[in-house]
Amino acid sequence: DSGVTQTPKHLITATGQRVTLRCSPRSGDLSVYWYQQSLDQGLQFLIQYYNGEERAKGNILERFSAQQFPDLHSELNLSSLELGDSALYFCASSPGRYQETQYFGPGTRLLVL
């Protein structure tokens, strides 16, 4: 158990819908990262938050957004969902802004029908 929690574990929804994925980092970690894992793309970095502020963006679609709250938990919002958004979404956390090891949560499996 990495100490990072993610909810829900599974999510099935329809195209065009909007969903919210939630992540709680390890105790004491200030950085939260979101990654997407699909069969053809592997693990891809989406976005990083550090202590409530956005630090870096990867190939995150404009339909996707995230935020980190004062209690340091984070939410990833996916809207206008398409079939291609079906994937595993992972959250990771680390103590600081960079270099430290990132510990991953169990992931949310999203299926868009």
Partner 1 sequence: EDQVTQSPEALRLQEGESSSLNCSYTVSGLRGLFWYRQDPGKGPEFLFTLYSAGEEKEKERLKATLTKKESFLHITAPKPEDSATYLCAVQALWGSSNTGKLIFGQGTTLQVKP
Residues that bind partner 1 (CB under 8 A): 2, 4, 31, 33, 35, 42-45, 48, 55-56, 58, 88, 90, 92, 94, 96-107, 109
State the minimum distance, in angstroms, from the CB of residue 80 to partner 1. 25
State the minimum distance, in angstroms, from the CB of residue 77 to partner 1. 20
State the minimum distance, in angstroms, from the CB of residue 113 to partner 1. 19
Q: Which is nearer to partner 1, 56 or 79 (CB)?
A: 56
Please, are residues 19 and 11 in contact by the beta-carbon 8 Å criterion?
A: yes
Q: Which is nearer to partner 1, 15 or 41 (CB)?
A: 41
Structure tokens belonging to residue 80: 């206008």
State the minimum distance, in angstroms, from the CB of residue 16 to partner 1. 26
Q: Distances from the Cα of 34 to the Cαs of 22, 67, 70, 104, 113, in angstroms? A: 10, 11, 18, 9, 23
Q: Which is nearer to partner 1, 16 or 31 (CB)?
A: 31
Count of CB atoms within 10 A of residue 108's CB?
21
Q: Which is nearer to partner 1, 78 or 93 (CB)?
A: 93
Torsion of CA 27, 29, 30, 34, to 10 degrees: -100
Residue type, 77: N
